[in-house]
Amino acid sequence: MKAEQLRIGNLVNEGVVTELRQNSARVKYNLKGEVAQSLVFYDYLEPIPITEEWLVKFGFELNDRAILGVSYKIKGAALEVIKFDVDDYYTVYFKDVEMVKIRYVHQLQNLIFSVLGQEL
């Protein structure tokens, strides 16, 4: 991953980013029931793919609008995320205008923060 893609609070496979440095990020994670932190070089950080489980966890609800895929909307916002059957990414719409295509949880977190000013 690249440092420019991350913000403090982003979720990655290793845990939660708590600090960004020039070549590495401090990541908080659970190790055998204990909270631990480590510095991890950006090249070793792995993004978390978006799934239905993650969308629901972040407050999205299934929407029946999509014809050729699955649609999720977040309550109280004009934001919709659609996974078309033929795509390996999610397309994000804001007020019915296509904004961006995303694959990973940290991308969704950053987008929600940018558009709605909310942390997921």
Separation of alpha carbons 83 and 89, rounded Å? 7
- Number of independent structural domains in the chain: 2
Structure tokens at 5: 């893609």
Question: Which residue type, as a one-letter code, is found at position 52?
Answer: E
Its domain, for residue 19, covers 3-44
- 111 & 65 share domain: yes
Can you give the pTM of this predicted structure? 0.86
- 104 & 63 share domain: yes
Residue-by-residue pLDDT tens, the chain, 120 positions:
889 999 999 999 989 999 999 999 999 999 888 999 999 999 999 999 999 899 999 888 888 766 778 888 887 778 888 888 788 899 998 888 898 999 999 999 999 888 777 776
